Amino acid sequence: MPSFDAVSEIDAHELTNAVDQANRELSQRFDFKGTACKFVLREKDFTVEVRGEVEFHLKQMLDILKLKLTKRGIDIGCLDVKDPQTNLAEARQDVVLRHGIDQDCGKKIVKLIKDSKLKVQAGIHGDKVRITGKQRDDLQAAIALLRKEKFDRPLSFDNFRD
């Protein structure tokens, strides 16, 4: 029976490259010369900590980070930007990259598939949703349906099997 998985994944290597490029651009830009601004990547929880001297720097740095992530092929729809924390010495802001499909998003996907009256079944398997059907055309229609719908995180489709 043909099936595929709907997932929301971030390539950790591309994320590392994007943060490195953003740090490199900070070191080369004139308006950041002599400042203690930098990006710190915490890979275990997919969080980028933006550190600057003032809150104004954080906004500029966030634009740089978004640009570099987009160039490396990471959808910025998965970014969850937290509120900045400022004190006299520095300003910090956490940017969490959401990955994996949580239970709420998985339920929305399953409900959307069932309401569409396509001849496919959807089930939540951990952090992905497996969609199975008898015909390949039905699965392609399900992919088109999911691409049209907007979710709080970018979806990709893999593990397509006949």
Tokens 């601004």 sit on residue: 37
Query: Looking at 73, 97, 121, which one is the last position of a domain?
Result: 97
CA–CA distance, 51 with 21 (Å, rounded to integer): 16
Same domain? For 55 and 125 the reply is: no
What pLDDT, on the 0 to 100 scale, is given for residue 161? 84
CA of 34: how far to CAs of 59, 122, 131, 149, in Å?
18, 54, 53, 45
Query: Looking at 45, 67, 97, which one is the last position of a domain?
Result: 97
Same domain? For 85 and 116 the reply is: no
9's tokens: 């994944």
Mean pLDDT (the chain) is 90
- More reliable by pLDDT, 34 or 25: 25
Same domain? For 66 and 122 the reply is: no
CA–CA distance, 122 with 112 (Å, rounded to integer): 10
Same domain? For 83 and 63 the reply is: yes
What domain range is 119 assigned to? 3-8+100-161
Predicted TM-score (pTM) of the model is 0.83
Mean pLDDT of 38-47: 91
Same domain? For 90 and 36 the reply is: yes
Same domain? For 51 and 105 the reply is: no
Beta strand 79-81 pairing with 38-42: unpaired
What pLDDT, on the 0 to 100 scale, is given for residue 155? 87
Same domain? For 147 and 79 the reply is: no
141's tokens: 């229609």
Domain count, the chain: 2
109-150 residue pLDDT tens: 999 999 988 899 998 988 889 999 998 888 889 999 999 988
Same domain? For 20 and 86 the reply is: yes
DSSP string, the chain: --EEEEE----HHHHHHHHHHHHHHHHH-GGGTTS--EEEEEGGGTEEEEEESSHHHHHHHHHHHHHHHHHTT--GGGEEEPPPEE-SS-EEEEEEE--S--HHHHHHHHHHHHHTT-SEEEEEETTEEEEEESSHHHHHHHHHHHHHS--SS--EEEEEE-
70-113 residue pLDDT tens: 999 998 888 999 999 998 889 999 999 988 888 888 899 999 99
CA–CA distance, 88 with 91 (Å, rounded to integer): 8
